[in-house]
Each structure stands twice: as structure tokens, then as C-alpha cells.
Amino acid sequence: MSRLRRLLLRRTASTDHAEPGLRRAERWRDSGLVDLPFYAALRGRAFASPLDAARDFVDHGMAERLSSHPLLDFHSLPAEVRRAWRRGRVDEVLQALADEHGRPRLVGPLAGSADPAAARAQALDLARALGATQVSDLPVIDWHEAGAQPRVPGRTSVVVVAAEVQATRRAVESILEDGRDELEVVVVEPGLPAHAALGLHASFHDRDGVSLFRVAQPAGEAAAADLGLVRTTGDVVVLLDPHVVVRRGWLGPLRDALADPDVAGVQPLVLRPDDSIHSAGLLTPSHDAPVHLLAGHPKEDALRLHDRALPATCGVAMAVRADDLVALRGWSADDPLGERLLRMRPGGFRLVPTSLVTWHRAPDPDQQEGTAPDRGVGEGLRWSLKLPSGPGRRGDLWGDTYFADALATALRDLGQEVVTRRRGAHESGPTHLDDVSVALRGLFPIPPTPGQVNVLWVISHPDDVDPEELEGYDVVCAASDAWSAELSSRTGREVVPLLQATEFVPPAEAAAGDRGTAEVVFVGNARADRDRPLVRKAVEAGVPLAVYGRGWEDLPDGVWRAEHVDNAELAGLYQRHGIVLADHWPDMARHGFIANRVFDALASGARVICDEVAGVNDVFDPRDVVVARTADDVARAVDELARTVPDPAVPRPSLTFSDRARTLLALVTATLDQRSAAEARP
């Protein structure tokens, strides 16, 4: 290669390396995503042209997670796009923002604003404040005036001092999903970096039930919380860490506990992300650091603390009467708030173990040791139910979670102590306290625990069960008569048939068969891997139908009713409709695993139309459970069931979890007796 050519190539390469900032800026400017007045205000400087602003943005603004347009929110982008943004990868970001025509689109809560001009004007005001070189002092609170402000009885005000945008959004969304009318959320932005202030503004500036207050300079959490407190209107105030996600039904029990005038304040049970306990309150030894009660334990262990006075609460979540907080001048006074509250109301603090929240910054179990109350003398065995359900709010909605909760209640009614462990925490915490391990085999295998009586109960997905999974288990049960016999034959060991069950009883206010509507009802989700053909056949048959669940966007108008039915309302829903559709996974149908929806419906006073399940009419009378293979079958079944009422003389099998609990207790007791007898032999 000639020297001249090498020089030319080197110069070209050098030019390519020197120019990418300009080329990236030109591409960003040409995208139409540069709002010059907004970005100039945000940066606190003037730009000669949109290209100058774009160059500053790609060289500096992207790394600082800023936006160049008031209606484009960095924090609403997927994680991989946010990473590309921070690294200044303009092409990747523009590709992710492209619509079906290849044009860049705005993304975020403000992008779909009904009044984009007003949304832009508000964002521009914030940009001017963020770009200002001088900031005002923290507001001074007039506590006398704050105490004179009226409070709304029954309203709860939740104060969240914001942190990372994604975490704060998740926390606030979980609060609002609780669905209480008398609820307000006050988000305090404590002088966070500009990108976070913009993200919080986009999220909450026009959100019903949420007010956003920005502190112009960085403020500590206590001072920021006080500024939020004086903007609340409820008679109860909850201070919530921004990394908390509240669980459904969390708020009512907290308010109920504050009805006792001697109680100084209350806290929910704070869980780790794996659903084990982070804190059930604090113990405060005189010379040592505070100790979290029950750290690492399953959440049910906290039930024994429900009526005990505690010296202090975990600061992650705390509910207090608003008047007390204002009278004590909030969180930021010299003395710790807990000590001041105890002087005012010496009855102490309370844990509300039925109010659950998840703290996503909880330390790992190895980094935290907890204290537990002693186990009572004369109690029954301690059972650990190990679930296939995942932790958190999503896992709360799994059918396996309701199944385990109902079984736990039935075992407690027999004098047993029961805890539950979700997937990911089967062997975490003090498992040495457990006497019995019950693996509820659904989607995932669960290994046995050495040193305990190990029970395997296969409740679904039998095709996924490898016979080798039975090794190490003292008792094996399965929710199918036929499959239990088949597996016994294949493995040479006893597999006890133990069908699914229900916790429901017929509603007292209406007799069985007294339908309140002519519609057939179905409750369940549709997914890409589960089309629910029985529902499609019912639609094809033209029967009056009501469907509850997610994923049903393609149903005819009027058929879909809601995404979710609370479990406490399910029995009443089934009884009111009187006829319930129940379908099964193909392997469950083939092997005779009757879904607990069938048990729930029958116990609610309804009757069932189901798909073809092996042996279903060996268990249930065909007058109660009708098998439908085609759309015509569905139509005929609906017609027949609508003309008749349930016959009390029809023989019905055991339906309840109480019966299943008695069977399990007998099997475990027999195993322990056999062990004792073996140990007693010389």
C-alpha cells in the first residue's frame, strides 16, 4: 500500500472518529425531538440553534438522563433503551422510538395528554426551575396553622418521599390499586436530579388521587416528609418508603388498629421480595442496635404478635393519626418520633400482620438476623406449605396461593401451626422449626427437606412430574384417582388419591338453584398458551355468558365484565349465576385431575359445565357436572340446567379442605408413629 493511500485512509478514519458527535446531533435534531425553549430552560443556557441544542444533548444531556422534549419521558422507556440513551447511542434510541412508519414517537405519561399545549407549558415551567442557578430556601412550616387545618374523617393520606422514579411509580401505583375512595397520595420530590424531577412530574402532575410537591433544594427525608404532612387532608397519615409495594387489602386493617386510642401507631408486616419477613416490628435492647422481629421467618409467624405492644416500628411503613403528627411537629423534630408518640400514647405500637407490604430494598437473609417469639407449649405440628406461586402481588393472584391459604386455614382449625413459603424461599429462614414439609406440586418440582416428614401432593400438571421426584418423600398424594393408581403401578409405591377441594360454603342468603341471572359465568385468564376452548364453544353456541379475567379483548361486546374477581366474592358470583364453565389443562383432563373451580362452584350452590375430564362423572353426578365436547353440547347443557334446580338427593363427594386436612394429618401422624415404633425396636 502506498504511503499516500495510508495517509488518506488514516485521515478518513480520523475524521470519522472526530465527527460522530456532530452526526449524532444532526440525526437527533432531524428526528423532531428537540424542543429548543424547553431544553434551553432545562440546561439554564441559550443555544444558537436546534443543532447546537442537539449537540449538547447527545454529548451531555443523554448521559445525565435528561430529555430534549417535554413530552418524551426517559423513565418510561424499556431498560435496554434507557441504557442506550445513557451511552449516547442515538441510532438505537431512535430505532426504539420509531412508529410503524419509521417516524420517532413521543413516549411517556405526557405523550398522550388530552391538552398537550398545557402539558408542555407545565413541563417548561419545571425546566426553568430546574435550570435556575439560584434556588429558594426550604419552606418554613407554621405548625400552628397546620394544626388548625380541617381533616377529613375516614380519609387516609399516604406520604411518599420520592427516590428513583421507577421505584416511586411502582409504589404509588400499588397504593392506588387498592381502590379506596377516601385515599390520597402526597409525593414529595426532595430536590432530586433533574431527570428524576422530570420523570416524577410526568408521572404524577395530573394524576387523580396524587399530589406532587417539589422541594427546590435537596432535603433530608424527615424534612421532606414534614412538607408532605402539612399538605395532607386525611385523619390518618402513612409514611411509606418509595421502595415499598403494598399488597391488596393492606390499608383497612391499619386503620382498624388505630381505633384503639391507647395505640401510638401501627405498622404493616414488612416482607422481603421473596415474601419472607423483613420486619414485624423492632425490639430496642438498651445497649444494642434495634433488632427486627421475625426477620427471615415466613409471614404467618407474625400472626402471634397481633395483640402485643411493641416499643418501636420499622421505618419502612408506619401509620399514625394525623393530629398526633402535627401536634408533635412531624418527623424532623429533635427527639425521635417514636419516643414522642409513646409519651403521648403510652400503649405502644402494634404490628398488623394481616396488612402486608413488600420492601424491595430489604437486606438479604444473611445480612440480617431477627428475633422470634417462643413457640407455645402443647401446640400441634408445625407445617410448612411450599408453593409453586411466585412472591409479591402477582403471586397473590395465583390459584395455588388461594389453594395453600385454604389448606393452611383448615390445618389450623385442627390445632396445627402452619406457615407458607413461596417459590424462591422454600428453604430460607428457620426451616429447622418445621416438622412437616408439604410440597404442592404444580408447575415446578419442589425437593424434599431432610429431617422432616415430607409430603408431596401433586395438584396439577401431571405430565411434568418425573417419577424420580417421589424419592425422599414419606407420603405422596395426587389429585386424581386414576393417575394415583397409574403412578403407584409404575413406581411400586403407594400414591394416595387426594382430590382438590374448596373453602366455600353456599351463601346463606340464597338457596341453591336460586339464580339471579340467566348468564353462564366463567372466571379465568386467556393467554397465548391457553385459549380456553370451552369459552369459545359457549360463544359459538350463543348462550348468555359473562367472562371475568385478563386477555379476553376479542370476545363479543358485553361478554367480558372485569379483569379480576376477589376471592371473597367468588362464591357469591357462582351462586348468583348458578351455572359455571370449568375447563382444564389438557394433561389434567387426560389424567383425571379435576380443577378446584368445579369444587368451588358446587360448594357455592351452582352446577358445572366442563370439558372432557377422565373420570369426572365417577366423582360427580352428571346432574351436577355436565361434560360438553361441542358447542351444541354446551347449548343443550345450559338449557337442561336452566330448567332444573340442584337435587339435594344427589350423592356428592367430600368437597372441603377440612376433609383434606384431616386426611393429611392422619397420614403424617401414621408416618410419625411408624418412625417412633422403628426407633423403639431394640
Q: What pLDDT band is residue 443 in, cutting at 50, 70 and 90?
A: very high
pLDDT of 372 over the 70 cut: no
Query: If you write DSSP's letter for every residue of 246-296 in order, what string do you get?
Result: EPTT-HHHHHHHTTSTT--EEEEEEE-TTSBEEES-EE--SSS--EEBTTT
Percent of the chain scoring above 70 in pLDDT: 92
- State how far the Cα of 156 lies from the Cα of 152, in Å rounded to an integer: 9
The alpha helices in 414-521, defined as continuous H runs, are 481-491
- State how far the Cα of 324 lies from the Cα of 612, in Å rounded to an integer: 62
For residue 680, give every residue at least 6 positions away whose Cβ sits within 8 Å of its Cβ, in sequence order, or none: none
pLDDT of 410 over the 70 cut: yes
CA 103, 106, 112, 114: dihedral to nearest 10 degrees?
Answer: -90
Q: What pLDDT band is residue 14 in, cutting at 50, 70 and 90?
A: very low
- State how far the Cα of 280 lies from the Cα of 301, in Å rounded to an integer: 9
Read off the pLDDT of residues 460-476 as tens digits, 9 standing for 90 and up.
999 999 999 999 999 99
Q: Assess contact for 439 and 448: CB atoms under 8 A.
A: yes
- Return the CA Rg of the chain: 30
For residue 130, give every residue at least 6 positions away whose Cβ sits within 8 Å of its Cβ, in sequence order, or none: 41, 42, 194, 197, 198
Q: What pLDDT band is residue 677 in, cutting at 50, 70 and 90?
A: confident
Read off the pLDDT of residues 644-655 as tens digits, 9 standing for 90 and up.
888 777 878 888
For residue 188, give every residue at least 6 positions away whose Cβ sits within 8 Å of its Cβ, in sequence order, or none: 159, 160, 161, 162, 213, 214, 215, 224, 225, 227, 228
Nearest to 418 by CA among 460, 387, 459: 387
Q: What pLDDT band is residue 3 in, cutting at 50, 70 and 90?
A: very low
What's residue 529's pLDDT?
81
Read off the pLDDT of residues 541-555 as tens digits, 9 standing for 90 and up.
999 999 999 999 999
3-state secondary structure of 379: coil
Amino acid at 218: P
pLDDT of 125 over the 90 cut: yes
Q: What pLDDT band is residue 6 in, cutting at 50, 70 and 90?
A: very low
For residue 14, give every residue at least 6 positions away whose Cβ sits within 8 Å of its Cβ, in sequence order, or none: none
- Let me know how long the chain is: 682
What's residue 12's pLDDT?
34
What's residue 2's pLDDT?
45
Distances in Å between the Cα of 529 and the Cα atoms of 347, 471, 526 are 54, 31, 8
Residue 452: CB atoms within 10 A of its CB come to: 20
- Average pLDDT score over the chain: 90
Amino acid at 585: W
What's residue 11's pLDDT?
36
pLDDT of 4 over the 50 cut: no
C-alpha cell at 590: 387426560
- State how far the Cα of 229 lies from the Cα of 186, in Å rounded to an integer: 8
Q: Assess contact for 271 and 339: CB atoms under 8 A.
A: no
Q: What pLDDT band is residue 639 in, cutting at 50, 70 and 90?
A: very high
C-alpha cell at 539: 360463544
What's residue 7's pLDDT?
35
Q: Assess contact for 624 and 646: CB atoms under 8 A.
A: yes
Read off the pLDDT of residues 499-542 as tens digits, 9 standing for 90 and up.
999 999 765 544 555 678 899 999 999 988 888 999 999 999 99
C-alpha cell at 210: 396524587
Better pLDDT: 377 or 490 = 490
Question: What domains does the chain contain, in order, with CATH numbers?
Answer: 19-131 (no CATH), 145-367 (3.90.550.10), 382-497 (3.40.50), 520-643 (3.40.50.2000)
Q: Assess contact for 189 and 197: CB atoms under 8 A.
A: yes
What's residue 374's pLDDT?
53
Better pLDDT: 308 or 364 = 308
Longest dimension (CA), the chain: 104
- State how far the Cα of 156 lies from the Cα of 222, in Å rounded to an integer: 19
Instruction: State mean pLDDT over 129-149.
Output: 85
pLDDT of 367 over the 50 cut: no
For residue 124, give every residue at least 6 positions away whose Cβ sits within 8 Å of its Cβ, in sequence order, or none: 37, 38, 41, 70
Strand 520-523 and strand 496-497: the pairing is: unpaired
Amino acid at 385: L
CA dihedral (102, 107, 110, 112) positive or negative: positive
- State how far the Cα of 602 lies from the Cα of 420, in Å rounded to an integer: 27
Instruction: State mean pLDDT over 286-301.
Output: 86
Q: What pLDDT band is residue 375 in, cutting at 50, 70 and 90?
A: low
H helix or E strand, kind and range, residue 185: strand 183-189
Q: Could you tell me the end-to-end alpha-carbon distance of the chain, in angstroms, rounded to an integer?
A: 94
What's residue 220's pLDDT?
87
